[in-house]
Amino acid sequence: MQNRMMITGAGSGLGREIALRWAREGWQLALSDVSEPGLQETLKLVREAGGDGFIQRCDVRDYSQLTAFAQACEEKLGGIDVIVNNAGVASGGFFSELSLEDWDWQIAINLMGVVKGCKAFLPLLEKSKGKIINIASMAALMQGPAMSNYNVAKAGVVALSESLLVELAQQEVGVHVVCPSFFQTNLLDSFRGPTPAMKAQVGKLLESSPITATDIADYIYEHVAAGEFMILPHEQGRMAWALKQKNPQLLYNEMTTMADKMRAKAKQNAG
């Protein structure tokens, strides 16, 4: 059939925009999120855009909720062709400030949520010879300062995607991983970190981006269609990744300078 898609974190932000992009092509969408009002709004917009589908509340930390969601896709849509593991949360703070609870929370949602999504839906994808689209982040490739738990979780998503790309080739299941940089989104709603100043700094980066979630959804649509594995929607991100591959030390030096500036700024704000 190739017109049935599942999206986690579809109640807002990039998840919603991906739903709308595929809805314009007339797709059937299985939408999940922890926010039911957000899901209802997305479904309404999906129908206005020319798609259809159903919603189901789902916390990606709970594997049984994901398997129940996969079952619902089989019952209501007869299967699934593309899964988008998009649900994620933001966090920040220097390593010394982050608690182990901060780590557990971040890994449970941003990494294990993707692992569980792939696991729960793989039997359906093997039947349809479908595709996996995992949403990681440029943080997976660049490891900026004061976000080590986020960097590690997202780097895990890239490593998982690379592993699946190789392992699922024989089953003809396609795999893509998307690494956006900062873009205008509501990611801060979920932000968790030890200092309010860190949240404010991340907020400024998100707001100052000229790229919206709609632009990113369009870019993903085009590059998945072209069969590209690693999808880097930001030009700056593509340049930074090329630099890191060529001269990693240069990048580490730049990140160290950035960390020093962030510490100085935090001290100034505290003072």
3-state DSSP assignment of residue 93: strand
Phi-psi region of 13 (alpha: psi -120 to 50; beta: other; left: phi over 0): left
Task: Decide: 106 and 112 in contact? Cβ < 8 Å.
Answer: no
* Six-digit token string for 134: 């995992």
- Give CA–CA dist 178/78, Å, rounded: 27
- Give CA–CA dist 141/128, Å, rounded: 31
150 given a catalytic annotation = yes
- Kindly name the residue from 63, 150, 219, 221 that is annotated as catalytic: 150
Strand order of the β-sheet with 28-33 is 52-57, 28-33, 4-7, 82-85, 131-135, 174-178, 230-231
**152 burial level (CB within 10 Å; 0-12, 13-18, 19+):** middle
- Give CA–CA dist 41/172, Å, rounded: 34
Name the nearest CA neighbour of 35 among 59, 6, 65. 59
Which residue numbers are catalytic? Answer: 150
